Structure 1
Amino acid sequence: MRWLDKAVLAISPERGLARVKARSAAHTLMNYDAASKGRRTYGWKSPGTSADSAALGSRSRLRNLSRDFMRNRALAVRGRDVTSGNVVGTGIRPSVRMEQGQEDRASEAMEVVQDHLLTSAIDTYGVSDILGLQTLVMNTVFTDGEILVRRRMRNTLFDPNLKLPFQVQLMEVDHLDESITSNGNNDVIEGIEYGPTGKAVAYHLFDQHPGEVGWRRRRKMTSTRVPAEQILHIRRIERPGQMRGIPWLAPVMTTLGEISDYQDSQILKQKIGSLLAFFVKSGADGKTYAGAQLSHLEPGAIVGLAEGQEVTPSEPPKVDGYQEFMNQAIRTIAVGLGLSYESFGDLRGVNFSSGKMGRIEMDRFVEIWQRAIIITQFCMGVSRWTRDGWRLVEASKGLAPVPKSIDWTAPKRPMIDPAKEIGAAVDEIEAGLTSLQRKQRELGYDPDVIAREREEDANRGGTPAAPANRNQRPPEDETIEEDEEDERQ
């Protein structure tokens, strides 16, 4: 301690101790270059806000900008389509798991699931089945950062075509009424009501989208308090306690916008360069050429010029380093989104090994998004609603027993080299490193469906061939004959 610190400590121990602690903390802080304040870190932001407060006040603008990028930026659309195409693909399909002793009624229960979830009956708007809704959910989570799914209970007496008494309605988060700040003793933040434990207990929703215009906006905007049990709030969670989502383009939005502007400017530059122009210099007499004849210049035309005048063509601008710059820019976007560079369409120089390595990292992210977003938040929520609705009409409609659970199987991942990859899967099963049904699910197949179909094939008289053992040795006599033939040669 310096003499001043000792003097302050003697006069006021509390202030003296605070000075010593502050100096000690400053010395510790300076051990990290990134934490220091100076020219190199000028402009760096480091607010200590919570996960949701970080985007408070700017969430709406980020969402609207992201939507505009989807309308006008090709790379943004590609990023969204690649993400949804890999996470959802052809759809994460449901299958039923019955209680013990009721396995023989699995086919009946599966018919109920197919009639309700795998048709447009599940959609409030009557457009998509559950597989189509999965794609729309993933697209919206990517673009807006979050989406609300509301359960709509129905009376099957008035709609007998519904097997189960509910439908789902996808709603953009713009429906949240952010003008409400409290409800009783509960706080309402950005339209979401939180209970004493910090859990969302209700959502305050407008009955129509605030952005509706024209004939569709017929009445005054009013909001309704909807219990959280009737809402699925789907988003990517990155920090503890996070309740809201942000657009996935947020980390790369500035870069993506500048890259798109650069690309447009290069296109305009080439367009101007392709317009060959002629400049006529004045002659010795000082007269200038009016250019009337040049205004209708056609290929092969011969234009007479006054004596002493000369024509020089324009020099189109050159584009240097455009390809290299765009490649690196797309790599930056791909890294920010968790996708591979090759998924944006450039497959030059890609072989099996490099393609496989690029897919491994991306597939890890895809599996995380599948499980944490679509399956856990959306599909399992719909499963819960399905089983609840099933119990209400099970007896009155004479349906199969309510399944013990509804499982979800993601679609198979496209193979780069099917022969090698299937062979490796067979080796894993034979070596005891995994089970057959686990590997079937990894490939996007439902083990129960496969077993049932193989049994049906056997009952029809077409006994399925047993899987060949690729490691099986030939009979001993054949081996001896081959060895003798080799010796004679």
Structure 2
Amino acid sequence: MSWLDRAILSLSPERGLARVRARTKAQALMNYDAASKGRRTHGWKAPGSSADSAAQGSRSQLRNLSRDMERNRALAVRGRDVVTGNVVGTGILPSVRMKNEANADKAMKVVRQHLLTPDIDAYGVSALPALQAQVMNAVFTDGEVLVRRRIRNLQYEPDFLLPFQVQLMEVDHLDEGITSHGKNEVVEGIEYGPTGRAVAYHLFDRHPGDIARFGRSSLKSTRVPAGQILHIRRVDRPGQQRGVPWLAPVMMTLGELSDYQEAQILKQRIAALLAFFVEASDTGGTYDGQKMSELQPGAIVGLEEGQKITASDPPVVGGYQEFMNQGIRSVAMGLGISYESFGDLKGVNFSSGKMGRMEMDRFVDVWQRQLIIGQFCHGIGRWMKEVWPLAREVRKLPPVPEDFEWTAPKRPMIDPSKEIKAAVEEINAGLTSLQRKQREMGQDPDVIAREREEDAARSQPKQKPDAPASDGQTETDPKQESQDGRD
């Protein structure tokens, strides 16, 4: 009872008792054990913060811890590589949609030359597939990444077909010290308009942690309109504007697994330690060898008179494999990937492998469509359509493409003979289209159609030209001559 209940009960027992009875009945009718306060729920924290407020004070710390784990924890870097390898793979490639096939072919050449070469990278290093992998790595590690459009002057860039590049920037570039710009509110470096939509980003011109190159000189931020920025992150709650590292739910488990593994390795090192001890002789002489503090495998240590050595007997910790397997399973579930993707294929057959992949493939498909294609690739396509008219006259380009389509890489098959047969049956039954199934397998239907036509043209037998008859006489069929001779 609260102090008010106790006060009413002491002043008016009848009213106090009625109050307690009413509260007891209400609790019996509306009761959730998880929401109760007691020994079983001691230490549970359940603040009513918004999606962004929950991580606002600890976002940078989570980001730094996530980066450190990927530098030093094998399971963390394996999880990142599995996610990026399945989502991006060899690259999500573009294709153009135009009614005129000739213009579509010309436009596709422009797209390939600009996007599938380092021309698209502001640093001049990576083509689009490599940029996609960097974006996915950053989203996994930091929870979010910024992509900035850089407009270029074609007069000074003779090799570029389109006048823009993209620059990948870690979210550390956000100037979190700014709180307002005019009447707009600025939260963690992002400026929001009256409707709550991001209208600008306040970015440092260089990474705040790049002190090796620039020292600790003061940083200056620049206001960049939101139309020139792609903010790639996973949105889990309504109204969420920022992302969090994907390792956040499993950081504690990763740290404890790593500590446990190091303890097991140290125990094995101690168990494998073999040393020789020399006791003092009757004459009092001692062996002047290595000291006890320098004990190493194979060491010969001299003991002074009266010293005795008692070997330690460390307890044997059993169940190492089972403990590690369960811990890795917890990490895999927290990341949304299969346990087998961490390398343990013991006891896996076609059915179990297929079932595990089915669940993981659903997540991979969501990440492809919502993150890389939905936010990054469609943003790149929008920028291309915006700058295309600027380069059309200068570079003699075809008309602006109507739309861009993006094809994800082929998903590895567990049993190709069974899966291809099932795909053919789906197409024949009308459950899907041929081109959709081709895209699911990582192929561009337009490219396949063109190549099949080329293959058909090559397979046609070449007709030999008829040899001209000499002296104006026509050639006679030898069989006909033989028949005429017999007649």
Normalising to structure 1: TM-score of the pair?
0.84
Mapping of 1:225-244 within 5 angstroms?
Answer: 225-244=223-242
Query: What is residue 374 of structure 2 aligned with on the other side?
Result: 376
8 Å contact from structure 2 (residues 275, 298) kept in 1: no
For the structure 1 residues 314 and 372, does the alpha-carbon distance in structure 2 shift closer, same or farther, using more than 3 Å as the test? same
Query: What is residue 323 of structure 2 aligned with on the other side?
Result: 325
Q: Within the alignment, does 1:446 sit opposite 2:444 as a pair?
A: yes
Q: How far does residue 151 in structure 1 lie from its aligned partner after superposition?
A: 0.2
8 Å contact from structure 1 (residues 206, 222) kept in 2: yes
Q: Within the alignment, does 1:206 sit opposite 2:204 as a pair?
A: yes
1:224 aligned residue (222, 225, 234)? 222
Query: What is residue 104 of structure 1 aligned with on the other side?
Result: 102
Q: Within the alignment, does 1:61 sit opposite 2:61 as a pair?
A: yes
Q: How far does residue 103 in structure 1 lie from its aligned partner after superposition?
A: 2.5
Q: How far does residue 216 in structure 1 lie from its aligned partner after superposition?
A: 3.5
CA distance in 1, matches of 2:359, 2:61: 31
CA distance in 2, matches of 1:83, 1:218: 35
Q: How far does residue 294 in structure 1 lie from its aligned partner after superposition?
A: 8.0
CA distance in 2, matches of 1:25, 1:47: 27
CA distance in 2, matches of 1:288, 1:340: 66
8 Å contact from structure 1 (residues 281, 311) kept in 2: no
Partner deviation per Cα, 1:258-300 (whole Å, 9 max, x = no partner): 11111111111111211123567889x8x98845468899999
Partner deviation per Cα, 1:208-256 (whole Å, 9 max, x = no partner): 0011113334863100000000000000000000000000000000111
Mapping of 1:65-464 within 5 angstroms?
Answer: 65-98=65-98, 100=99, 102-217=100-215, 220-278=218-276, 290-292=286-288, 318-461=316-459
The aligned amino acid for 1:366 is: V
CA distance in 2, matches of 1:441, 1:288: 86
The aligned amino acid for 2:339 is: Y
Q: How far does residue 302 in structure 1 lie from its aligned partner after superposition?
A: 12
CA distance in 2, matches of 1:336, 1:233: 24
Q: Secondary structure at the match of 2:390?
A: helix
Q: How far does residue 107 in structure 1 lie from its aligned partner after superposition?
A: 1.1
The aligned amino acid for 2:86 is: N
Q: Secondary structure at the match of 1:204?
A: strand
For the structure 1 residues 208 and 432, does the alpha-carbon distance in structure 2 shift closer, same or farther, using more than 3 Å as the test? same
CA distance in 2, matches of 1:34, 1:297: 54
Q: How far does residue 402 in structure 1 lie from its aligned partner after superposition?
A: 1.0
Between stretches 271-280 and 335-344, larger displacement belongs to 271-280
CA distance in 1, matches of 2:58, 2:300: 62
The aligned amino acid for 2:70 is: M
Paired residues in the alignment total 446
* Backbone CA RMSD of aligned residues: 3.3
Q: Secondary structure at the match of 1:460?
A: helix
CA distance in 1, matches of 2:172, 2:441: 38
Q: Identity, % of aligned pairs?
A: 70
Q: How far does residue 444 in structure 1 lie from its aligned partner after superposition?
A: 0.7
For the structure 1 residues 294 and 115, does the alpha-carbon distance in structure 2 shift closer, same or farther, using more than 3 Å as the test? closer
Q: Secondary structure at the match of 1:38?
A: coil
Query: What is residue 487 of structure 1 aligned with on the other side?
Result: none
Query: What is residue 35 of structure 1 aligned with on the other side?
Result: 35
CA distance in 2, matches of 1:92, 1:418: 22
8 Å contact from structure 1 (residues 273, 317) kept in 2: no
Between stretches 378-387 and 266-275, larger displacement belongs to 266-275
Between stretches 430-439 and 127-136, larger displacement belongs to 430-439
Partner deviation per Cα, 1:149-186 (whole Å, 9 max, x = no partner): 00000001011111100000000000000110000110
Q: How far does residue 393 in structure 1 lie from its aligned partner after superposition?
A: 1.2
Q: Secondary structure at the match of 1:242?
A: coil
The aligned amino acid for 1:369 is: W
Between stretches 30-39 and 366-375, larger displacement belongs to 30-39
Q: How far does residue 190 in structure 1 lie from its aligned partner after superposition?
A: 0.2
Between stretches 319-328 and 67-76, larger displacement belongs to 319-328
Between stretches 293-302 and 159-168, larger displacement belongs to 293-302
For the structure 1 residues 402 and 288, does the alpha-carbon distance in structure 2 shift closer, same or farther, using more than 3 Å as the test? farther
CA distance in 2, matches of 1:309, 1:181: 69
CA distance in 1, matches of 2:357, 2:36: 38
For the structure 1 residues 213 and 47, does the alpha-carbon distance in structure 2 shift closer, same or farther, using more than 3 Å as the test? same
The aligned amino acid for 2:36 is: S
CA distance in 1, matches of 2:52, 2:159: 42
The aligned amino acid for 1:31 is: N
For the structure 1 residues 169 and 310, does the alpha-carbon distance in structure 2 shift closer, same or farther, using more than 3 Å as the test? closer
8 Å contact from structure 1 (residues 356, 416) kept in 2: yes
Q: Secondary structure at the match of 2:459?
A: coil
8 Å contact from structure 1 (residues 202, 228) kept in 2: yes
8 Å contact from structure 1 (residues 234, 378) kept in 2: yes
CA distance in 2, matches of 1:87, 1:96: 22
Which has the larger Rg? 2
Q: How far does residue 201 in structure 1 lie from its aligned partner after superposition?
A: 0.3
> Which runs of 5 or more structure 1 residues have no equivalent in the other structure?
9-15, 464-489
Query: What is residue 474 of structure 1 aligned with on the other side?
Result: none
> Which runs of 5 or more structure 2 residues have no equivalent in the other structure?
9-15, 462-487
Q: How far does residue 317 in structure 1 lie from its aligned partner after superposition?
A: 5.5
Query: What is residue 44 of structure 1 aligned with on the other side?
Result: 44
8 Å contact from structure 2 (residues 279, 286) kept in 1: no
CA distance in 1, matches of 2:252, 2:284: 49
The aligned amino acid for 2:230 is: L
Q: How far does residue 455 in structure 1 lie from its aligned partner after superposition?
A: 1.4
Partner deviation per Cα, 1:423-471 (whole Å, 9 max, x = no partner): 11111111111111111011111111111111122233359xxxxxxxx
Between stretches 392-401 and 142-151, larger displacement belongs to 392-401
Normalising to structure 2: TM-score of the pair?
0.84
8 Å contact from structure 1 (residues 278, 314) kept in 2: no
Q: How far does residue 310 in structure 1 lie from its aligned partner after superposition?
A: 9.7
CA distance in 1, matches of 2:295, 2:347: 45
